[in-house]
């Protein structure tokens, strides 16, 4: 998707410096991928206490 956006120059410079990426496009794409991954991880918390697990943790640890 092609789009034009105004991004804070200092923010972009810092992101490029920290990531070591060469282009603004790569930096923005990494930022979007990271945001998506973090938001998906947050959704995992919604399952706390709602899933059941049947197993023997001690036996699983002994197998390794």
What is the chain's pLDDT, residue by residue, as a tens digit (64 residues)? 899 999 999 999 999 999 999 999 999 999 999 999 999 999 998 888 898 888 898 988 987 6
With beta carbons less than 8 A apart as the criterion, state whether 28 and 34 touch.
no
With beta carbons less than 8 A apart as the criterion, state whether 8 and 24 touch.
no
Residue 53: predicted pLDDT: 87
Residue 33: predicted pLDDT: 98
Residue 48: predicted pLDDT: 87
Residue 64: predicted pLDDT: 61
Q: For residues 38 and 30, what is the distance between their CA atoms, to the nearest angstrom? A: 12
Which residues touch 58 (CB under 8 Å, ≥6 apart)?
A: none
Q: For residues 51 and 42, what is the distance between their CA atoms, to the nearest angstrom? A: 16
Per-state percent for the chain, helix, strand, coil, to nearest 5: 65, 0, 35
């Amino acid at each position: 998707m092609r789009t034009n956006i105004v991004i804070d120059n200092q923010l972009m410079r810092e992101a490029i410096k920290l990531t070591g990426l060469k282009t603004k496009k790569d930096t923005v794409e990494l930022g979007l991928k990271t945001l998506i991954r973090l938001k998906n991880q947050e959704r995992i918390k919604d399952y706390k206490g709602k899933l059941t697990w049947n197993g023997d943790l001690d036996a699983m640890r002994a197998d390794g």
